[in-house]
Amino acid sequence: MERELFEKVIKFFVSQDWKNVIPDSLSSLIGSLLGVYVGGRITYKVTKRLDMGKLRKDLELKAAEEMLICIEELLNKLITANILIMSFNRNVSIYLNSRTNIDNNIIQEVSDAWNDYAKAYNKMLFKFDARRIVLREFWYIRELVYDECNLLREMENECIQLISDIYYNRILMGSEIVPQEVEDLEEKLSIFNDKSFDILSYLYDLQIKLQNQFLNDIFDNYKISYREPLDSKYKVLK
C-alpha cells in the first residue's frame, strides 16, 4: 500500500507542468523536497537491507559456532566409545573361549562411554532443530546422521543381546558355548565398528561444510578440502 501511494505521488508530480502553475523558486523548492524524500526512502531501504544482511550473517555465524562445538563434542565421545568397543572386540573371544569372567570395569566403561555419546548426540540434534531455518541447507546431513545413529543404536543392542546370551547365559550358567555364536558376535562388533567410522566421517564432513559455508568469506574465501577416500564405496557429504 505504501509503495503504491509513493508511486502515485511521483507520477503526479512528474506529469504536472509546474512552471505554468507556480513560480520557479517554489518549483525548485518542491523539487528539492521531493529529491530529499526520494533520497531518504532509498537510503532507508538500503540501510534496512544492510541491517537485515548483517543480522542474517550474525545468526549464521552463531549457529555455525554452536554446531561446530556440538560436533566436536560428539566426535570426541564417539571416538572414545569406539576405542573401547574395539578393545572389547579384541578380547571377547579370549573371555568366551577361556570361560574367564569379563572384567566388570570394562563393561561399565563401555556402558558409560556410550551413554556419554548418546547425550552428546541428542544435544547436537536439539541444537540443529532449534536452528533449522539458518541451517536448512544442511538438513539432509542431519537426516542422514540421524538415520545412521539410529542404525548404530540397533546394532549396539544386538551386540549387547549376544554378549548377554553367550556370556551370562552360557558361561555363568555352565552351558556349552557354541563357536558360531562367538563368531557371530565378533562379526557384529566388527560391523558395528565400521558403522561408527562412517558416522565419524559424516560428522567430519559436516564440520568442513559448515566452515566453508559460513566462514570462508571472512578468511579470504579460503575453503577446506573434503575427504577423498581411496575406495569409492565410502560416501563423502558435500
Q: Which of 31-40, 175-184, 225-234 has the lowest mean pLDDT?
A: 31-40
65 and 11 fall within a common domain: no
Judge whether 131 lies within some domain. yes
What is the arithmetic mean of pLDDT over 69-90? 86
Confidence at residue 178, expressed as pLDDT on a 0 to 100 scale: 72
Please tell me the total count of domains within the chain: 2
Q: Which of 160-164, 211-215, 219-223 has the lowest mean pLDDT?
A: 160-164
Judge whether 111 lies within some domain. yes
Q: How confident is the model at residue 55 (pLDDT cuts 50, 70, 90)?
A: confident
168 and 90 fall within a common domain: yes
> Which triple of cell numbers denotes residue 120?
552428546
Q: Residue 179 in 3-state DSSP?
A: helix
Helix axes 179-214, 24-98, angle to 10 degrees: 160
Confidence at residue 39, expressed as pLDDT on a 0 to 100 scale: 55
45 and 70 fall within a common domain: no
Judge whether 203 lies within some domain. yes
> Which triple of cell numbers denotes residue 173?
550358567
C-alpha–C-alpha distance, residues 7 and 46, integer Å? 18
Judge whether 161 lies within some domain. yes
Q: Quick one: how far is CA 218 from the chain centroid?
A: 21
Percent residues over pLDDT 70 in the chain: 66
Which amino acid type is present at position 223? K
Give Cβ neighbours of residue 238 (< 8 Å, ≥ 6 apart). Answer: 205, 209, 226
Q: How confident is the model at residue 47 (pLDDT cuts 50, 70, 90)?
A: low
26 and 64 fall within a common domain: no
What is the arithmetic mean of pLDDT over 11-34? 54
65 and 154 fall within a common domain: yes
Shortest CA distance to 89 belongs to which of 168, 169, 184, 180? 184
Q: How confident is the model at residue 12 (pLDDT cuts 50, 70, 90)?
A: low
Which domain does 207 fall in, by range? 60-214
The more confident residue out of 230 and 39 is 230
Q: How confident is the model at residue 219 (pLDDT cuts 50, 70, 90)?
A: confident
